[in-house]
Structure 1
Amino acid sequence: MTTKKLLLLAGDFAEDYETMVPFQALTMLGYEVHAVCPDKKAGETVKTAIHDFEGDQTYTEKPGHNFALSYNFDEVKVEDYVGLVVPGGRAPEYLRLNERVIEIVQAFNQADKPIAAVCHGAQLLAAAGVLDGRECSAYPACGPDVKMAGGEYMDIAVDQAHVQGNLVTAPAWPAHPAWLAAFVKLLGAQITL
C-alpha cells in the first residue's frame, strides 16, 4: 500500500494550532505529511505563534511551540503530493516572497489538487495569483488581499469553512473541524465510525 502524501508549507511564526493540528490530524488519518520551510531541512524547527481571540480589535499573539519539520524543502516535487496545506499566522506574509513557494502553490492549483488554506494563508494564495475569479475565506484582515487578487472574499463565521473547486478556506483555527473535514473529503477520504 502506498501512503498518500500531503505538503504543508510552514515558516517561522506560522500560527501554532494551524500548523500543529492539521499536521497531527492528517498524520493520524494515515497521510504522510511533509512539513517544509524554505532554507530549512527535516528535523530543524520553525517557531510558531499562538493567535487568540480575546475581545480586542484583532487577535492577540503569544509564543507557541517549536514545530519540527519533517521534510527538506529543496526536495519537494509537487507531483508526489495529493494536496497542499497552507497554515496562517505571520509566515505567509514572508513566504510569499519566495519564488519557489509561489511556484509550488501555482503548480498545485494548475493540477487541480486540493488546497487547504486557513487564516492568513490566503496571503500566499493571493500572491500566487490563484484567486482570480475564486471565492476564498480568510482572516477578515486578509479580505483586501483576496479582493486585490481578483477573488471574492467570503465573510463566514470563524468556525466555518468554504469550499469552491479544489480550494478549502477558513477564517481561523476555530474552523478546524469544518475545514479539515472538507479538505479530507476533497482528498477522497471516507471516515466511517
Structure 2
Amino acid sequence: MTSKKILMITGDFTEDYETMVPFQTLQAVGHTVHAVCPDKKSGETVKTAIHDFEGDQTYTEKPGHNFALNADFDAIQVEDYDALVIPGGRAPEYLRLNSAVLDMVRHFFTANKPVAAVCHGAQILSAAGVLKDKKCSAYPACRPEVEQAGGEYADIPVDQAVTSGNLVTAPAWPAHPAWLAQFMALLK
C-alpha cells in the first residue's frame, strides 16, 4: 500500500467516533492525516459530541473528548492532499457556511480524488454542490438536502456504506467497518 496524505475537515461538536476513529485508523495503516478547522491552528482542539441511538425519535447527544488538530487550516494547500474525510456531528451545519471549506471540498471532486463523508457530513457536500448524480448516504434527516443537491439518497442500514465514483458515504458511526474499508479501497 502506498501511503496517502489525507485531509480531515472538522469543527467544534463534530461527532466523537466519526472523527477519532477514522483519524486513528487511517494513521494506523500508514496514511498521514491532517485534521483542520477554520479559525484554528495545529495544537488547538475542537470539542466533540457523542451521538447515540437509544430508542428515541432521534439520536441523543453527550459531551465527548477534546480532539487535537494537527495542521493549520489557513496554511494547508489542498492540492497537496490525496483524499478528504468529512466527519459528521453538528460541525457540518456551520462549516457548510464557510466558502473556503466549500472550495476545498470542490477541489477533491474536480480532481476526482477519494472523499469519505459520514452522517451529517453530507450537509457540506450538498452546500458545495458536488452531489449531482451521486449516490450518497447520510443520517436520514439529511435526505432532503442530498436530494435537493441533485444526489440520490442511499437509504441503507446504519452499519453499511455506499461508494459512488470517488465518494464513499455512510449513515452514521456504526458503519465504520464498511465505510473505512470502502474508502481505503479507493486509496490504493
Q: Which amino acid aligns with 1:135?
A: K
Gaps of 5+ in 2: none
Whether 1:15 and 2:15 are equivalent positions in the alignment is yes
So what's the TM-score if we normalise by structure 2? 0.98
- The 5 A counterparts of 1:126-145 are 126-145=126-145
Give the distance between the partners of 2:133 and 2:58, measured in 1 at CA.
Answer: 28
1:159 offset after TM fit, Å? 0.2
Q: For residue 79 of structure 2, what is the aligned residue in structure 1?
A: 79
Corresponding position: 1:161 with 2:165? no
Residue type at the aligned position of 1:184: M
What's 2:59 paired with? 59
For 1:184 and 1:84, locate their aligned partners in 2 and report how far apart those are by CA, in whole Å.
12
State the alpha-carbon separation in 2 of the partners of residues 155 and 19 from structure 1.
23
Partner of residue 191, structure 1: none
Matched to 1:131, the amino acid is L
Distance 2:126 2:34 in 1: 23
Q: What is the CA deviation profile of residues 79-100 of structure 1, one whole-angstrom value per residue up to 9, with x for unaligned ones?
A: 1111000000000000001010
- What pairs with 1:73-112 in structure 2 (closer than 5 Å)? 73-112=73-112
1:75 Cα offset (Å): 1.3
Structure 1 residue 48, shift from structure 2 partner: 0.3
Q: Distance in 2 between matches of 1:35 and 1:123?
A: 19
Residue in 2 aligned with 1:149? 149
Cα deviation, residue 3, structure 1:
4.7
Residue pair 2:156, 2:171 contacting (<8 A) in 1 also: yes
Distance 2:111 2:58 in 1: 35
Superposed CA deviations along residues 43-75 of structure 1, whole A, max 9, x for unmatched, are 000000000000000000000000000100011
Q: Secondary structure at the match of 1:120?
A: helix
Q: 2:36 corresponds to which residue?
A: 36
**How far apart, CA to CA, are the structure 2 residues paired with 1:133 and 1:32?**
30
Identity, % of aligned pairs? 72
Q: In the alignment, residue 46 of structure 1 is paired with which amino acid? A: V
TM-superposed CA distance for 1:182, in Å, is 0.3
SS at match of 1:70: coil
Long gaps (5+) in structure 1: 189-193
Structure 1 residue 161: Cα displacement? 0.3
Give the TM-score normalised by the residue count of structure 1.
0.95
Shift of 1:132: 1.1
Counterparts of 1:14 and 1:47, CA distance in 2:
7
The separation in 2 between residues aligned to 1:172 and 1:81, in whole angstroms, is 25
